[in-house]
Copies of this chain bind each other. A is one copy, B any other.
Amino acid sequence: MKAITVKQPGGADQLQITEQPIPNIKSDEVLIRVKASAVNRTDIVNRESSGGYLDTPILGVEVAGIVESAGVNTTLEVGTRVMGLVNGGGYAEYAVMPANCAMEIPAHLTFEEAAAIPEVFLTAYQTLFWHGQLQEKDAVLIHAGGSGVGTAAIQLAKQLVDAKVITTAGSQKKLDFCNNLGADICINYKEQFFDEEVKRITNHVGVDVILDFIGASYWERNLNSMKVDGRWVLIGVLGGAEVHNVNLMALMGKRIKLIGTLLTPRSNDYKSKLTADFVVNALPFFATGQLKPIVHRVFPLHEVQQAHIHMEENKNIGKIILRVDETMKNA
């Protein structure tokens, strides 16, 4: 089969189409004929790093496609349209998925739309509800509102618990988009100090939960924005990893829970529990249209280099999708 691997750790130009064996499945796995995958920042980190934590040389941590064959200890039927997390190997014509990570695709969604769901919606669900313990009517500050996880988190916070959603982004276009997704307050971080806005909006109480993709450069302002007993979920360091002055008394005084987390390196057991919880509590909202996958742009898989560059330029609102189709055969 055709698949995307990395020549040498480095830039997008290191991505190449190679011929790889169709992978074997274990008894609790299914083989997916991939129709679409999606680009995630973890793919870029993996592309650049020499090690990488995944077993396969093929990039990609989520797919949508059709069950081609199923292990003996699974209940999924061949032919079922599914989407879900994979432990690497998503940028390919076939991929292995733990059966417990497979979610049936809601009938009205295309494969490209379905591939925009697993990673960002599961991450947003995990961070908001499992870690952030977001409750009905809580206030939540979601940074990078236009990002894949941002657009998912805004919708989940609004539709599942009617949270007061405050979001930041760097362009009017992104802010308008966030507003349309249901965000109550949209702050342009280039024009306003978000902590001052948060204080004003919350009557100096602060927010219950922060979803932080930014890290160092927002540290002080996030601290200022946090409510007493707030949960600060750290899932990215786009603004740097090194904070030079952390005041621990402030963390204690506000009794803050600072929770560092990542989804991809977690165990299958964890991912399958998260998937099961999401299927019960969030997936039905896709059928009703209250939750929507946000597809920014679809690239054919052989244009994976352009797709990576597109993410690195940071212009996307929502997901960058890779379509696997007949064009691959001739690539």
Contact = CB atoms under 8 A, between A and B. Distances in A.
Interface of A: 215-216, 234-237, 241-249, 251-262, 266
A243 B251 CA distance: 12
B241 A249 contact: yes
A242 B237 contact: no
Given A234-B252, A237-B249, 16 more contacts: A237-B252, A241-B247, A241-B249, A242-B245, A242-B246, A243-B245, A243-B246, A244-B245, A251-B258, A252-B260, A252-B262, A253-B260, A254-B260, A256-B259, A256-B260, A258-B258
A244 B244 contact: yes
Contacts of A246: 242-244, 246
A128 to B, nearest CB: 16
Number of copies: 2
Contacts of A235: 252
B257 A216 contact: no
Contacts of A247: 241-242
A255 to B, nearest CB: 5
5 contacts: A241-B247, A242-B246, A243-B245, A248-B260, A257-B258
Contacts of A243: 245-246, 248
Contacts of A262: 252-253, 255
A187 to B, nearest CB: 22
A269 to B, nearest CB: 12
A216 B248 contact: yes
Contacts of A237: 248-249, 252
Nearest to A243: B246
A266 B253 CA distance: 11
A252 B216 CA distance: 13
A149 to B, nearest CB: 14
Contacts of A216: 248
A307 B258 CA distance: 36
A255 B261 CA distance: 4
B260 A234 contact: no
Nearest to A237: B248
Nearest to A216: B248
Q: Which 8 A-B pairs have the closest CB atoms?
A: A251-B260, A252-B260, A241-B249, A258-B258, A243-B246, A246-B246, A215-B248, A241-B248
Contacts of A261: 252, 255
Nearest to A228: B265
A215 B251 CA distance: 11
Contact of A234 (B241, B251, B266): B251
A206 to B, nearest CB: 14
Contacts of A260: 248, 251-258
Contact of A257 (B249, B257, B266): B257
Nearest to A256: B260
A87 to B, nearest CB: 17
